[in-house]
Amino acid sequence: MKGNFNALIEADQLVLIDFSAEWCGPCKMLAPILKQVKDELGNSVKIVKIDVDKNQSLANKYQVRGVPTMLLFKKGQQLWRQSGVLQKSEIVQVVKSFM
């Protein structure tokens, strides 16, 4: 996953990473919200879900202490970070601010 992850976040496109876990209730609430964000923003953002239990080294690298945690990247730079569930409008506003 690591090599793919680096290639993913190095892209010119905005990439929203959703660090989550199967057992996490708020993560399940966030999933349909992120789908709505993708539906609204289309190809201007790529949304990737990463299971912290299966990718512990990545979670450690980005110091993900709680799930869900969202990170926004472009060209390898972390632009934004937020833990917890946000509403669709809040996430869309953040992503648009970096477009």
Q: Binning pLDDT at 50, 70 and 90, where does residue 2 land?
A: low
Q: What is the pLDDT of residues 10-58, one digit of tens each?
A: 989 999 999 999 999 999 999 999 999 999 999 999 999 999 999 999 9
2-97 has which CATH code?
A: 3.40.30.10
Annotated catalytic residue within 14, 16, 21, 27 = 27
Q: How far apart are CA 20 and CA 10, in angstroms?
A: 21
* 24 is an active site residue: yes
- Each domain of the chain, given as residue ranges in start order, spans 2-97
Six-digit token pair at 3?
């090599």
Question: Residue 70: enclosing H or E segment and its boundaries?
Answer: strand 69-74
Annotated catalytic residue within 24, 47, 58, 79 = 24
Token pair 């964000």: residue: 37
